[in-house]
Amino acid sequence: MLDRPGAPLADTLRETTERWIEAFSAALAGRSAGELSELFVADSHWRNLFGISWHFATFSGNATVVAELLARGTEVRAANFRIDHGALAPRHAVVGGRDVIEAIFAFDTVNGAGYGAIRLLRQPDGLAKAWTISTSLDFDSICEARAGGSPAQSTTRDFAGPDWLEARQAEAAYDNRDPDVLIVGGGHAGISVAVEAKRIGLTSLVIDREERIGDNWRLRYRGLKLHNKTPVNHLRYLPFPKTFPDYIPKDRIANWLESYVDIMEVDFWTRTAFEGATYDDASQRWTARLTREGAGRTLRPKHIVLATSVSGTPAIPEIAGIDNFEGEVLHSSRFKAGRQWAGRGVIVFGTGTSAHDICQELQAAGAEITMVQRSPTMVVNVEPAQLYDKTYLGDGPPIASRDILNSGVPLPVMKLAHKLVTDEVKRLDAPLLSRLEAAGFRLEYGEDGTGWPLKFRTRGGGYYFNVGASELIADGRIRLVQAADIEAYVADGVRLRDGTTRKADLFVLATGYKGPDHLLTQLFGAAVADRVGRVWGFDEGTAELRNMWTRTRQPGLWFTGGAFSQARIYSRYIALQIDAIEAGRLGKGLG
C-alpha cells in the first residue's frame, strides 16, 4: 500500500484503496484475525447498517471490530469486496479533523448485494489503515435483480376492464384484504417507508387523521420553512426541482408530499384515526382498530410502522398558576398567524426554533412580544448551520453516494466532526452571540459542544437557526424574560419578581413535542410499551437511535421518523427487514 513516487494522485488513491479492500476481503475470507487487525487503526469503528448480518449497530475499537466482522461476515458469507469507482472516485477528505482517503465499495452476501464506505488513515510507514468502515445492503441492486432490469409494461389495453385510475382506487380501498404493512402517520417519514415497501413488493397503507395529505406541514404556523437547504432534503426517486429555493416554505412542502404520494402510487387514507392494536402470536398479525371518516374499520396487517414523528404530539407542561390567566393559551402547534394579534400583548414560552419564528412573525405583525426562556438554548445563524450538512452541499457525487458517505460516519466520529463545526460556527457567529448574552439570553452548544444535530437526535429540539429573531432580541424589540424571574401568573399576564407586570392577551407554549414512544401504552397497552422500551435517543450498547428503523422486542412493530434525509436513507432498511421476515429469512422480533 505504499505510494509510487511521481504517480498521479488519482492513480495513487486508486491503488491504495484497491490494495486495502483486496487485503480486507482476503483476511475476511481466510478468517484471519491477525491480518484483519493489521488493516485497522486502534480507534477504528465499524457501522453496520444491516449489511453484514441483520444487526444495526456501531462497533468500536480494533479488537471488537475484528471479532464482530469475523463472526458476522461468516454468518452471511460476505465476500467479493471491491472498490466502486463509479459511485465515487477515491479521494482525500477531512473528517473529524483527520486527513483521510475515502472510497465507496461493493460486496456480496447471502442476503443480497451490499455497499459501504471506508476512510483510511495514512500511517508513518506509508501504509493505509482503516479508521471507519460501514456496510449496508444495497436496496436498489436487490430490487433491480428481482425485477430482472425490466420496467413495468403497460402496452396491454383491456377496454372492458378497469383503467389505471379505477385500478388504483380499488387497490387503495383494501376491500376484503389487508395490507402487509400499516403505516400510522402520513408525513415524509411514513410516506418514505410506503414507497420503499411498494418497490420491494410489499403492500402498505398509510393512514393519517388530517383532511389532506401534507396537512401536517400545511397547518403549521404561517412563516415556517425548512431550516436546512434543499439538497439535504430530497425525497427518494423524485428530487426537488432545481428551481426550488434553498429553504422550502411549509406549504410548498405540503403540496409536494401530496403530489409525491400520487406519483409514487402510495395507498393513503386521510381522515383516519388509529385507535390502537393488539397482536396475535399465533397468526402473527395485528388487529388494528381505525376510525375512518367517522366509521369504524378493522385491519389485520402483519406489521405496523409508527411514523407519528419525533415532533408530532405537543408537550404541554404543567405550569403552576397559569390557570389564573384569563386570555387564550395555545401550544405552538396550534398557532397559525400573527396578524390577528397586532397591537396586543403576546407571551411566548420557549426559545427553540418554533418559539423564535413565532415571536418574529408576531413582532412583524405589530404585537407586543415577550419571550420566556426556560433553559439555555443553542443559537446559530441559518447559513453557518449548514456546515453540519456539508456532505450534501456544493459540487460532488450524486446524492446516493453522498448518502453512503453520510450514513457511514459512526457516532464517535460524528461527535468529533460536530465539535469542530460547532467551534467554527461559534467563531462565525461571535458578534451575534455576544449581543444575545448581553441581552440576558442563556446560550449552550449541545453535549460536549457537539451542536444542534445531536441535540435533535437526543431530545428533538433545544436550538434555533437564526433568521432574524435573535437580532430582535438583542435590540430589545422582542423582550426577554427568564422563567425564574416570573413570580406569578395573573389575569392579564405575568407578574415579575421586580414587581412589574407583562400584560398579554395570548400565551403561546412553544414547549416542544413528546417523543415517538409516548403513545405506546395508550395504543398498544402497557405490556407492549414495557417490552419495547424507549424510542429515540442513543442506545449505549449499539451507539444507534433506540428502536428506530429496526426490529423491536415487539414482533411486527416498527418506528420511523426524523429529518427528510433520515427518512430517505433509513426507510429502505425497514422494507428490507420486513421483506426478509415475510420470506422466512429473518425472525420477526428481537430477543
d(CA 338, CA 159): 54
Q: pTM of the entire structure? A: 0.94
pLDDT tens digits for range 174-230: 999 999 999 999 999 999 999 999 999 999 999 999 999 999 999 988 889 999 999
Task: Tell me the HSE value of 245 on the side-chain side, using a 13 A CA sphere.
Answer: 10
Among 109-123, 410-424, 462-476, 507-521, where is mean pLDDT lowest?
507-521
Phi/psi-derived region of residue 289, left when phi > 0, alpha when psi is between -120 and 50, beta in every other case: beta
- Number of CB atoms found within 10 A of residue 398's CB: 9
Residue 153: the pLDDT is: 64
Q: Higher confidence at residue 457 or residue 237? A: 237
The helix-helix angle for 430-438 and 411-428 (nearest 10°) equals 80
Backbone angles phi, psi at 415, to 5 degrees: -65, -45
Q: CA-CA-CA-CA torsion for 263, 269, 271, 272, nearest 10 degrees?
A: -150
Q: Which triple of cell numbers denotes residue 18?
A: 484497491
Query: 558, exposed or middle or buried, with CB in 10 Å at 0-12, 13-18, 19+?
Result: buried
Q: Which triple of cell numbers denotes residue 392?
A: 450534501
Residue with cell 385510475: 165
What is the rounded average pLDDT of the residues 267-284?
97
pLDDT tens digits for range 321-339: 999 999 999 999 889 888 9
- 454, 460 contact by CB (below 8 A): no
Domains and CATH numbers, the chain: 9-143 (3.10.450.50), 164-312+516-534+542-582 (3.50.50.60), 318-513 (3.50.50.60)
Closest CA to 269 of 337, 390, 401, 179: 179
Query: 194, exposed or middle or buried, with CB in 10 Å at 0-12, 13-18, 19+?
Result: buried
- Residue-averaged pLDDT of the chain: 94
Backbone angles phi, psi at 464, to 5 degrees: -140, 130
In sequence order, what are the residues at sequence separation of 6 or more whose Cβ sits closer than 8 angstroms to the Cβ of residue 111?
A: 54, 76, 137, 580, 585
